[in-house]
């Protein structure tokens, strides 16, 4: 998992509330056996019409938002089925931070397992960011260490985050990474077992 | 300090595998990781994305079982018609090759359902911790191994670290005393136990099965029993190893040999619950009270003796249960109060990791043979299939002539795989079809959308195939 420390990136506004995981990544993209490449299915039905032609008016298709790294979204982002493909698709598209007033639980948890930072701000703060995101300059700074979001015009908003989750995110530590901090213990354990139960060691 | 009490079998296995504690969770070492095509592709992709590798390929074993077709396996993976299944099978092949993991591909005689293959190969051993991305991993508990089903992100965790992060469960002991009557076996015990404690009865617990009737079961019977521990809501099921276990293990391909066997045996014999061990909860049943058992509804706890009637929703204690019983009756197309033997079946499925081993096939074949000798075949309106659990089971059954009996009596004899247990391959129920099945889940749509599943033993399923409806196998064999 990639560490998240501080990000300066373009932000795109997605005003709708209750964006569910099926909208983030529709069912037909779940058949893949990979995690990579899901970005092409991200918000597919928003980005493309039934013929597969790009809808040029959708925010993520507009040239001024190319290379976007932060999404500012409406209430209850990530509701619906628990598919882990949703954070994978966002990350694959290049989005590593989503700002909203609230997130669905499972999606919120899945984000931390994958290095995507979900930031909860107050409704008026999200509203202010939405407005600025619509303007010409929309580079935002998200600083996890300081727990702040600084808008293009310099308005600073602070956010809350669980300290353990924050620490793991700063180090890029997922559950595997965390367990691997005990790698020495695993090594020691394995060598003991190799002696006590040698028949389990397959050459 | 409270007085020291003894340890349960689960406590002993747990303690022997804790590597460290972190954030209130144990890092539990995993001795054997079984993998298959459906729950692993994204786990391997995750490893690659993070630049990690498989820590112990030698403690990992791969099979192709969940979505393989049960005919034409010799044609190879390239000939699998379902595109998604083919892609998953090909991805598994690539992943095991890239990571040096032992693999029994589709068509290999050693391949089969993951929970049949592990024990058959001697990879499953007492006192081990075993995981697999399939909920019925509890099967391996028959050997006194702590065996648990895990999800894809945990599969990735085990691949990378050979450990699982977990909190300890509670100890629940289910004791079955006495001796069962004729025609009653492990599947009936298993269903009766789920019926008695409910699908949430084992939640948060590991069940140890004990008592005279359990000791009397063969290894295959114990596997059937532990297979359904998960349907009682438990994390895992366990039976302490004994001479029956050691006799089964002797001479298997991966079983220790010579001096190593003696050393292993001494180690295995330490895995039992101490006399003064304390269980969080105890349930006691008498084998003599258990009849051949079938399910009537859409949850494995919806059980009834074959001599009984479909229950009335009114007989349930809570409003929730009444409503779900009504819904189940409607889905199953049954009427409250009707004898369960009136349920006419369209399909019979003998297979799955619950009941596809040689003893299961022998008991079903005995019923088929008895019927055949009395001039009876599979009822004309019934489609009956037998799917052996592995290539080796299939070979042995054929050596014993069981396939000939099945075919003569009108059963379809298939190639190994999970098949109609989950309906991911082409073996599926059509909407409204009723199936007598030896598998483990009767959920709505499990065997195909709109399909109606009645769980029962292999002998009972074979009897239903002949009669064309659910029937008491004891009557048929009389
Ligand atoms: S037979 Fe059914 S329960 Fe058993 S491993 Fe296959 S799908 Fe899972």
Tracing tokens 């009114």 back to the chain, one arrives at: B314
**C-beta of residue B82 within 8 angstroms of C-beta of residue B67:** yes
What integer best gives the mean pLDDT of chain A?
92
Tell me how far apart the alpha carbons of residues B322 and B313 are, in angstroms, rounded to a whole number.
5
* Confidence band, pLDDT 50/70/90 cuts, at residue B414: very high
Backbone angles phi, psi at A158, to 5 degrees: -100, 155
Distances (CA, A) of B73 to A141, B78, B108, B417: 56, 10, 9, 10
pLDDT of B6: 95
Nearest to B165 among A31, A34, A179 (CB): A179
Tell me how far apart the alpha carbons of residues A83 and A27 are, in angstroms, rounded to a whole number.
10
Tracing tokens 């989005």 back to the chain, one arrives at: A95
Beta strands in B30-128 (DSSP E): 32-35, 60-63, 102-104
List A residues 71-110 in contact with B (Cβ-Cβ < 8 A): 84
Beta strands in B65-197 (DSSP E): 102-104, 129-132, 146-149, 163-166, 170-177
If you count residue pairs, one on A and one on B, with CB atoms under 8 Å apart, how many are there?
Answer: 83
Residues in chain A: 203
* Confidence band, pLDDT 50/70/90 cuts, at residue B422: confident
Which has more confidence, A36 or A115?
A: A115
H-helix segments, B100-227: 114-120, 152-161, 186-197, 212-215, 219-227
What integer best gives the mean pLDDT of chain B?
95
Average pLDDT of the segment spanning B216-235: 96
Q: Is A175 on the interface with B (CB under 8 A)?
A: yes
Nearest CA in chain A to B41: A33
> Of all protein residues, whose CA lies closest to atom 3 belonging to ligand 1?
B136
Residues of B in Cβ contact (< 8 Å) with A193: 29
Q: What is the ipTM of this complex?
A: 0.93
**Global pTM value:** 0.89
> Of all protein residues, whose CA lies closest to atom 6 belonging to ligand 1?
B418
Tell me how far apart the alpha carbons of residues B345 and B235 are, in angstroms, rounded to a whole number.
33
Which of the 8 DSSP states describes residue B139? G
Q: Is B88 on the interface with A (CB under 8 A)?
A: yes
pLDDT of B151: 81
Q: Which two three-digit tokens encode residue B255?
A: 């079983």
- B165:A175 CB<8 A: yes
B30-53 b/e (C-beta count within 10 Å ≥ 16 → b): bbbbbbbbbbbbbbbbbbebbebe
- B29:A1 CB<8 A: no
Q: Is B263 on the interface with A (CB under 8 A)?
A: yes
Nearest to B45 among A34, A182, A196 (CB): A34
Nearest to B41 among A33, A113, A196 (CB): A33
* Confidence band, pLDDT 50/70/90 cuts, at residue B321: confident
Nearest to B156 among A176, A193, A200 (CB): A176
Nearest to A180 among B161, B256, B267 (CB): B161
- B160:A33 CB<8 A: no
Average pLDDT of the segment spanning B235-251: 97
**C-beta of residue B471 within 8 angstroms of C-beta of residue B465:** no
* Confidence band, pLDDT 50/70/90 cuts, at residue A84: confident
pLDDT of A105: 83
**C-beta of residue B120 within 8 angstroms of C-beta of residue B129:** no
C-beta neighbour count of B315 within 10 angstroms:
11
Average pLDDT of the segment spanning A183-199: 97
Tell me how far apart the alpha carbons of residues B338 and B127 are, in angstroms, rounded to a whole number.
46
**C-beta of residue B442 within 8 angstroms of C-beta of residue B334:** no
Q: Is B301 on the interface with A (CB under 8 A)?
A: no
Q: Which two three-digit tokens encode residue B248?
A: 């089964």
Residues of B in Cβ contact (< 8 Å) with A189: 19, 29
Backbone angles phi, psi at B75, to 5 degrees: -70, -15
Q: Is B259 on the interface with A (CB under 8 A)?
A: no
Average pLDDT of the segment spanning A72-80: 91
Residue B432: pLDDT over 90: yes
3-state SS class at B170:
strand
**C-beta of residue B227 within 8 angstroms of C-beta of residue B139:** yes
Residue B1: pLDDT over 60: no
Binding pocket residue ranges, ligand 1, CB within 6 Å: B 65-66, 113-115, 134, 136, 352-353, 418, 421-422, 440
Side-chain half-sphere exposure of B239, counting CA atoms within 13 A: 34
Residue B2: pLDDT over 60: no
> What's the CA-to-centroid distance between B306 and ligand 1, angstroms?
25
Average pLDDT of the segment spanning A96-106: 93
Residues of A in Cβ contact (< 8 Å) with B42: 33-35, 84
> What's the CA-to-centroid distance between A176 and ligand 1, angstroms?
27
Q: Choose the residue to mutate in B68, B387, B419, B421 for probing ligand 1, maximizing ligand atoms within 8 Å of C-beta.
A: B421
The share of chain A scoring above pLDDT 90, in percent, equals 76
Instruction: State the SS3 of chain A.
Output: CCCCCEEEEEEEEECCCCCEHHHHCCHHHCCCCCCCCHHHHCCHHHHECCCCCECCCCHHHCHHHCCCCEEEECCCECECCCCCHHHHHHHHHCCCEEEECCECHHHHHHHHHHCCEEEECCHHHHHHHHHHHHCCCCEEEEECCCCEEECCCCCEEECCCCHHHHHHHHHCCCHHHHHHCCHHHHHHHHHHHHHHCHHHCCC
* Confidence band, pLDDT 50/70/90 cuts, at residue B425: confident
pLDDT tens sequence across B338-350: 999 999 999 999 9
Distance, in angstroms, between A131 CA and closest chain B CA? 36
Distances (CA, A) of B385 to A19, B91, B373, B374, B395: 45, 29, 20, 21, 17
Residue A164: pLDDT over 60: yes
Mutate to test the interface with B, among A25, A29, A33 (most CBs of B within 10 A): A33
pLDDT of A140: 97
Burial grade of B434 (CB within 10 A; 0-12, 13-18, 19 or more): buried
Average pLDDT of the segment spanning A115-125: 96
3-state SS class at B452:
strand
3-state SS class at B175:
strand
Residues of A in Cβ contact (< 8 Å) with B156: 176
Nearest to B52 among A176, A182, A198 (CB): A176
Q: Is B271 on the interface with A (CB under 8 A)?
A: no
Q: Is B29 on the interface with A (CB under 8 A)?
A: yes
- B87:A164 CB<8 A: no
Residue A68: pLDDT over 60: yes
pLDDT tens sequence across B109-128: 999 999 999 999 999 999 99
pLDDT of A194: 96
Q: Is A16 on the interface with B (CB under 8 A)?
A: no
* Confidence band, pLDDT 50/70/90 cuts, at residue A22: confident
Average pLDDT of the segment spanning B383-399: 98
**C-beta of residue B139 within 8 angstroms of C-beta of residue B231:** no
- B87:A31 CB<8 A: yes
* Confidence band, pLDDT 50/70/90 cuts, at residue B28: very high
C-beta neighbour count of A66 within 10 angstroms:
11
Q: Is B87 on the interface with A (CB under 8 A)?
A: yes
* Confidence band, pLDDT 50/70/90 cuts, at residue B3: low
**C-beta of residue B287 within 8 angstroms of C-beta of residue B179:** yes
> What's the CA-to-centroid distance between A135 and ligand 1, angstroms?
55
Residue A203: pLDDT over 60: no
């Amino acid at each position: 998992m990639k560490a998240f420390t501080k990000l300066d990136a373009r932000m795109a506004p997605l005003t709708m509330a209750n964006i569910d995981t099926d909208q983030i990544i529709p069912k037909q993209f779940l058949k893949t056996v990979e995690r990579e490449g899901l970005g092409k299915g991200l918000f597919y039905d928003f980005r493309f019409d039934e013929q597969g032609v790009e809808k040029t008016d959708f925010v993520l298709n507009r040239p001024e938002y190319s290379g976007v790294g932060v999404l500012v979204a409406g209430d209850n982002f990530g509701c619906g089925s628990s598919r882990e493909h949703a954070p994978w698709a966002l990350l694959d598209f290049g989005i590593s931070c989503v700002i909203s007033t609230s997130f669905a639980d499972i999606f919120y948890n899945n984000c931390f397992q994958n290095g995507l930072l979900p930031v909860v701000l107050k409704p008026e703060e999200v509203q202010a960011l939405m407005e600025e995101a619509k303007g010409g300059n929309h580079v935002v700074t998200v600083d996890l260490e300081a727990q702040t979001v600084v808008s293009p015009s310099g308005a600073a908003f602070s956010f809350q985050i669980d300290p353990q989750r924050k620490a793991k995110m700063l180090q890029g530590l997922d559950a595997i990474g965390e367990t691997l901090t005990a790698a020495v213990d695993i090594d020691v354990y394995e060598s003991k077992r190799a002696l006590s139960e040698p028949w389990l060691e397959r050459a | 300090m409270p007085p020291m009490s003894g340890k349960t079998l689960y406590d002993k296995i747990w303690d022997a595998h804790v590597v460290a504690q972190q954030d209130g969770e144990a890092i539990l070492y995993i001795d054997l990781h079984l993998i298959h095509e459906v729950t692993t592709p994204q786990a391997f992709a995750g490893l690659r994305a993070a630049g990690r590798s498989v820590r112990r390929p030698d403690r990992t074993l791969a099979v192709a079982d969940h979505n393989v077709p049960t005919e034409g396996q010799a044609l190879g993976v390239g000939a699998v018609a379902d595109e998604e299944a083919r892609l998953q099978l090909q991805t598994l092949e690539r992943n095991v090759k890239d990571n040096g993991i032992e693999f029994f591909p589709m068509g290999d005689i050693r391949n089969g359902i993951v929970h049949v293959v592990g024990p058959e190969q001697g990879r499953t051993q007492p006192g081990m911790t075993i995981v697999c991305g399939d909920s019925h991993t509890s099967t391996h508990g028959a050997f006194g191994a702590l065996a648990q089903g895990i999800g894809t992100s945990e599969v990735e965790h085990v691949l990378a670290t050979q450990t699982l992060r977990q909190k300890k469960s509670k100890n629940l002991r289910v004791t079955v005393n006495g001796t069962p009557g004729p025609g009653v076996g492990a599947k009936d015990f298993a269903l009766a136990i789920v019926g008695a404690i409910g699908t949430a009865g084992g939640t948060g617990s590991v069940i140890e099965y004990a008592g005279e009737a359990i000791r009397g079961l063969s290894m295959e019977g114990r596997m059937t029993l532990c297979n359904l521990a998960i349907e009682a809501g438990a994390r895992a099921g366990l039976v302490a190893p004994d001479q029956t276990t050691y006799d089964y293990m002797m001479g298997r391909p991966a079983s220790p040999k010579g001096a190593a066997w003696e050393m292993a045996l001494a180690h295995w014999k330490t895995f039992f619950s101490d006399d003064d061990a304390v269980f969080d909860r105890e349930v006691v049943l008498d084998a003599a009270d258990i009849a051949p058992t079938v399910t009537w509804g859409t949850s494995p706890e919806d059980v009834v003796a074959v001599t009984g009637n479909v229950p009335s929703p009114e007989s349930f204690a809570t409003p929730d249960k009444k409503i779900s019983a009504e819904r189940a009756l409607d889905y199953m197309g049954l009427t409250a109060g009707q004898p369960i033997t009136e349920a006419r079946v369209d399909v019979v499925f003998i297979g799955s990791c619950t009941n596809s081993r040689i003893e299961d096939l022998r008991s079903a074949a005995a019923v088929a043979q008895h019927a055949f000798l009395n001039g009876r075949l599979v009822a004309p309106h019934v489609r009956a299939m037998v799917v052996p659990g592995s290539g080796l089971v299939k070979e042995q059954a054929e050596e014993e002539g069981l396939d000939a009996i099945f075919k003569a009596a009108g059963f379809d004899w298939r190639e190994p795989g999970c098949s109609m247990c989950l309906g991911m391959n082409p073996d599926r129920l059509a909407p409204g079809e009723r199936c007598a099945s030896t598998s483990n889940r009767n959920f709505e749509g499990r065997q195909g959308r709109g399909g109606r599943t009645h769980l029962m033993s292999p002998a009972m399923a074979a009897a239903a195939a002949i009669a064309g409806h659910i029937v008491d196998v004891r009557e048929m064999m009389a």
